Chains A and B, each alone.
Chain A
Amino acid sequence: MNAITKDRSDTLAPFGTRLDGVTDPVRKAAIGALHRSGLPDRRVEEWRYTSLRFLSETPLAAPAEVYDAGQIQAQLENLGLSTGPLADLPRLVFVNGRYAEPFSVLPAEVKVSFFAKTQTFGSLSAPDRDPLTALNAALASDGAQLHVPAGKNGGDVLLVSLGQTDTPVSFHPRHSVTLDEGAQLTLISIQAGQGRYLHNPVLEISVAAEANLKHVTLQTEGQDAACLATTYAQVAERGTYDSFVLGLGAALSRQEIHARLAAPFATVHVNGAQMLGGKQIGDVTSVITHAAPDCISRQTVRNVLDGHARGVFQGKVFVDRVAQKTDGYQMNQALLLSENAEIDAKPELEIYADDVKCSHGATVGALDDDQLFYLRSRGVPDAEARQILIHAFMDEALGLIEDETARALCTQMLARSFPVAGESA
Chain B
Amino acid sequence: MPAVTETREAVEKLGQSSYKWGFETDIDMDVAPKGLNEDTIRLISARKEEPEWLLEWRLAAYRAWLKTTEPEWAKVSYPPIDYQDLHYYAAPKKKPGPKSLEEVDPELLRTYEKLGIPLHEQAMLAGVELPEGETARPPVAVDAVFDSVSVVTTFRKTLEEAGVIFCPISEAVRDYPDLVRKYLGSVVPAGDNFYAALNSAVFTDGSFVFVPKGVRCPMELSTYFRINAKNTGQFERTLIVVEDGASVSYLEGCTAPMRDENQLHAAVVELVAMEDASIKYSTVQNWYPGDENGRGGIYNFVTKRGACRGARSKISWTQVETGSAITWKYPSCILQGEGSVGEFYSVAVTNNHQQADTGTKMIHIGRNTRSTIIAKTISAGHSDSTYRGLVRVLPKASGARNFTQCDSLLIGDQCGAHTVPYIENRNMGARIEHEATTSKISEDQLFYCRQRGLSEEDAVGLIVNGFCRDVLKELPMEFAVEAQKLLQISLEGSVG
Contacts and interface: CB of A to CB of B under 8 A. Distances in A.
A342 interface: yes
Given A342-B426, A353-B413, A355-B440, A360 B431 contact: no
B78 interface: no
A362 B414 contact: no
A348 B432 contact: no
B434 interface: yes
B135 interface: no
A343 B426 CA distance: 7
B433 A362 contact: yes
The dominant DSSP class at the A interface is strand
Contact of A365 (B411, B413, B430, B439): B430
Contacts of A365: 430-432
Given A339-B427, A342-B424, A349-B418, A359 B437 contact: yes
Contact of A351 (B408, B427, B432): B408
Interface of A: 1-2, 45, 321, 324, 334, 336-366
A361 B420 contact: no
A420 to B, nearest CB: 17
Contacts of A321: 413-414
Size category, B interface: 35 or more
Contacts of B413: 321, 324, 353-355
A328 B416 CA distance: 16
Contact of B440 (A1, A337, A342, A356): A356
Nearest 3 CB-CB pairs, A to B? A336-B428, A354-B410, A362-B434
B436 A349 contact: yes
B410 A351 contact: yes
A356 B9 CA distance: 27
A324 B414 CA distance: 12
B231 interface: no
B82 interface: no
A265 to B, nearest CB: 20
B415 interface: yes
Given A347-B421, A352-B415, A362-B421, 12 more contacts: A341-B426, A344-B424, A345-B434, A349-B438, A351-B416, A351-B438, A353-B410, A357-B439, A358-B437, A359-B435, A361-B433, A364-B431
Given A351-B417, A354-B411, A345 B423 contact: yes
B229 to A, nearest CB: 32
B402 to A, nearest CB: 9
A368 to B, nearest CB: 10
A45 B74 CA distance: 11
B425 A334 contact: yes
B419 interface: yes
Given A356-B439, A358-B439, A365-B432, A343 B425 contact: yes
Contacts of B416: 350-352
Given A350-B416, A351-B418, A1 B69 contact: yes
B433 A363 contact: yes
A243 B430 CA distance: 31
Contacts of B424: 342-345
27 contacts: A1-B69, A1-B72, A336-B425, A336-B428, A337-B428, A340-B395, A342-B425, A343-B423, A344-B422, A345-B424, A346-B422, A347-B421, A348-B418, A349-B408, A349-B417, A349-B420, A350-B418, A354-B411, A354-B413, A355-B440, A358-B439, A359-B438, A363-B432, A364-B432, A365-B431, A365-B432, A366-B431
A242 B191 CA distance: 48
